[in-house]
Each structure stands twice: as C-alpha cells, then as structure tokens.
Amino acid sequence: MAKIGVLALQGDFAEHIAVLHRLATDCREVRLPGHLEGLDGLIIPGGESTTIARLLDVYDIREPLKRKVREGMSVWGTCAGMILLARKLVEDRPQPMELMDIEVQRNAYGRQVDSFEADIPIAALGVAPFHCIFIRAPKIKHLGPGVEVLGKLTEGGVVAIQQGKLLATAFHPELTEDTRFHEYFLSIVAGQSHDPYPGPD
C-alpha cells in the first residue's frame, strides 16, 4: 500500500490527515527530512506560505523534498501548498520550490472576495461538480506547456492543475466531506490517474 506524508510544519495538515484516515491510507506527518523516507506521495497543505517556506529551510527539508520528487514521489499542494510548488511567484517572497511550471500570485482575489466557494466541474473526478472552498487563494497567472488544466472558474481562472505526478489546487478539498480529490491524488501516486483530457490518440 502506498505511503503518504502530509507536510506538518504549519497550516491545515490535520484536516488532510483526517481525510486520509477516512480513506484508510497509510499516512504520516512530515516535519523532518527523515520523515520523507519511504514515502510515495506528499501533501503540502494550505496555511501561510511564507511561514511554511521559512520552516522548510529551518528544518533543512527543502532540498531532500525536491530530491524525492526527482526520484518519483508525487506531491499535491493545496492553496499555500500550490504557492510553494510554483516555478515563480509574482511577489518576491516566499522562495517557491520551482517544481511545477506555473507562475502564481498570492492573495490574488482581493479583500472583498478573499474567501468564496464555487461548484466546479472537474472531469477527472466524475460527473458531479466539486465544491471548492477558496481562502485567500492564489491565482495562476501563467501555465507552462506541460501543465494540464483540471478545473476552472466560470470566468476562466484556472484553479486545479496536474503536471505528471504533481497536482495543485488553489482551493481546499480537505475542508469538505467529498474525498474524491484525495482519491484522485492516491490514483496519481499509484500511477493510475487517467488523462484529464481524454481525446483522439
């Protein structure tokens, strides 16, 4: 059975762990480089990306984490986690890990709508739309050619993406009862995720 870690430096890691327990997944909290040992997948939760980035460096886990990804570990970043996976941020801080070919702007929805919810169709999860909770969410400003779009807001903003074994969502599936996104991540870890754009060969 796949072993999944949840980066537990700051943010809502406990909510992700709770969903993984509901899915009877073998999972553990990750705080130190040694906790990455033997993991097949890692979730980077929502929270405060500047704090998580600082703690990545304090605990010397940034480089070991990037090495594990190069060796094939899957990663899913939610909200602050997506910010940390980016190649580039609009802002100077924090220093992202440059693992996904996206440019991201933090807190990009402005004060009025800094938190909102939307039901978004995500073909990779099946027919029923997914209830997406956005909390001071980041916006994807630029997508590289190898990045697949899994979900968009009706006005067109991309909010869920996949690049090979890497997944990122601007919203928080761990705050809903719907476990489909976690199951989708587990299928990526197992190498069984289907092409989100099934089309002619």
Q: Which residues bind ligand GLN (CB under 6 A)?
A: 46-49, 79-80, 83, 106-107, 135-136
Q: Which of 16, 35, 172, 182 is catalytic?
A: 172
What are the b/e assignments for 26-41, b being 16+ CB within 10 Å? ebbebeebebbeebbb
- Please state the closest distance from residue 83 (CB atom) to ligand GLN, in A: 5
Q: Is 35 a catalytic residue?
A: no
| Catalytic status, residue 174 | yes
Q: Which of 174, 182, 183, 194 is catalytic?
A: 174
Q: Burial code of 5-23, b = ≥16 C-beta within 10 A, e = fewer?
A: bbbbbbbbbebbbebbeee
Q: Would you say 49 or 162 has its CB closer to ligand GLN? A: 49
Q: Which residue, 46 or 173, is less far from ligand GLN as judged by CB?
A: 46
Least CB distance to ligand GLN at residue 10 (A): 10
Shortest separation between residue 135's beta carbon and ligand GLN, angstroms:
4
**Kind and range of the H or E element at 58?**
helix 49-58
The CA–CA distances, whole Å, from 171 to 3, 54, 129, 158 equal: 24, 22, 14, 11
Catalytic residue among 35, 79, 132, 182: 79
User: Where in the sequence numbering do the catalytic residues fall?
Assistant: 79, 172, 174
